[in-house]
A and B are shown apart, each in its own frame.
Chain A
């Protein structure tokens, strides 16, 4: 992943050769360096205030009783973290979110890859289909949620009517706790075109000679897919898995719009995602200490998941540059 490799590259190159580094430093043009700092100063200010400053502030808050509604601010030690692990809703929302991610990410990858393969095959008219498939991605999430809110209606919704045509009795999508997450997955799949475009670009980069050689050797389409296509686009798959997982862990809009808009507690608990519960704690209860502790837990979880994925991914991913 570029983020890590870039960082590592930077670190590596700064460390080993002290002499070279000193030599380089002497070569810095003073005026040029000052101009450089001036150019990047907007980012430095933003970083110090809104990222680094905010992170430190958030960490401090997570160790405090900080409730805007009750107007309390005092040190809390580990109390927020303890309370968090004792709160069944935190655990439940975390489970819900992980469950959603495990269901959504592979489906998104497979669906996007299938669409990309179709478009890659079809040739000149691909542009038209690509445009059509991309339109849902342009639709504001609120509009998507509003449409699917009606389409997914268990009794009269178009999706269940469609399923009835082929003899399937559709579930109560937005009511039945077991079908809440598949509903959101469905909405996500409708807007899968971003991932598809990345796959399409990767497929274009696969050298065609590989297929020619393979088919001379008698490899069939399926065999070619698994021995050429998949390895050659593995870095795109890897990238999409990581990005989609991080996004899935932070899912908010869909769940909030469909289930937690009004403050009634009528919605099934299986629709309570981590991001939604965190938002409720922060901006409904104004329990900033608790919400900050939740945010840091999320950060750690995402880091761990990403690290595991990078570790596993590096075994399978084929990087062209390493040839």
Chain B
């Protein structure tokens, strides 16, 4: 569920190069010599807070890494440096869980989902941004209105549609709807297209470019940043999509699970209350391994993520 930022100031920022990530500048207040001692105390306090929060945010990651290297009995000892190092966990986990299958399945679904939605949303967005046709405003209002609809309302009918198409148990329901664009991304890319000077397109028309040519040769190459933002957002959303996997793939064998479904399965498999042995170190290894692709994605696309969230008010 996502809605767009209300401020009209969001519109011009869309057109800015994405590279201009949010960077703080010092406020002039700190330069005032009025009470220097007080200033130093405040400064120290703020730095302690910043570092403290960093520790709180990072602790679970360090804990996860440590736990993934521990033997069964020590997972809960909370030592950040394992007493007994068991790097074999990382080898054994492949025998314990079909992790490679999960990652492969999720990767394929995420690539299809992100690729399709980025392309289809761009096409639709260009239709709304460039062309004038009767009913355009009402239809675009409808696009925005669909963002208010809770997913629960369409959950059952969509299941029945896929069932009647005989596609239950396949991965199609996890990316199929992305062929038709998605409201939030249509909005995002439309804003970007609106930022392109119209003369560019008029000139190309004079030169004999077709309407599709305008999209493919001018709009799309110039909107690579918003294309990347959409792709990354959807890739992450798809990688995390637990509910759809539960609905469409849970009946199959664990080999065909996606990453979220697989981890959920592993949590149950090792849970003592469900007859497991409490081998949570494997769950931790698996959790770590499926988080890594997202961290890599962030490492390469950080500015796109931050810029995308900041300018559109996207909630993950």
Contacts and interface: CB of A to CB of B under 8 A. Distances in A.
Contacts of B57: 132-133, 135-136, 190
A231 to B, nearest CB: 13
Given A13-B137, A36-B133, A247 B1 contact: yes
B152 interface: yes
Interface in A108-150: 115, 118-124, 126-127, 129-150
B28 A208 contact: yes
A283 to B, nearest CB: 6
Interface string B224-253: 000000000000100110110011000000
B1 A243 contact: yes
Given A124-B23, A136-B60, A236-B5, A142 B259 contact: yes
Contacts of A53: 157
Contact of B180 (A27, A42, A156, A252): A42
Report which residue of B5, B158, B288, B302 has the largest number of chain A beta carbons within 10 angstroms of its beta carbon.
Answer: B5
A163 interface: no
B208 to A, nearest CB: 14
Contacts of B315: 194-195, 243-244, 247
B305 interface: yes
Contacts of A292: 153, 156
Interface in A301-323: 302-303, 306, 317, 319-321
Given A33-B134, A42-B124, A139 B294 contact: yes
Interface of A is mostly: helix
A240 B310 CA distance: 12
Interface string B272-316: 011000001001100110110011011000100110011101111
Given A123-B25, A140-B239, A194 B60 contact: no
Interface residues of B, number: 119
A129 B76 contact: no
B58 A47 contact: no
Interface of A: 1-3, 5-7, 9-11, 13-14, 25, 27-29, 32-40, 42-47, 49-51, 53-55, 57-58, 61, 115, 118-124, 126-127, 129-151, 153, 156-158, 161, 190-191, 194-195, 197-198, 200-202, 204-205, 208, 211-212, 215, 221, 235-236, 238-240, 242-244, 246-247, 249-250, 252-253, 256-257, 261-262, 264, 266, 275, 278-279, 282-283, 288, 291-292, 294-296, 298-299, 302-303, 306, 317, 319-321
Interface of B: 1-9, 21-30, 32, 46-47, 49-50, 53-54, 57-61, 63-64, 67, 75-78, 120, 123-124, 126-128, 130-134, 136-161, 177, 179-181, 186, 211, 215, 236, 239-240, 242-243, 246-247, 259-260, 263-264, 267-268, 271, 273-274, 280, 283-284, 287-288, 290-291, 294-295, 297-298, 302, 305-306, 309-311, 313-316
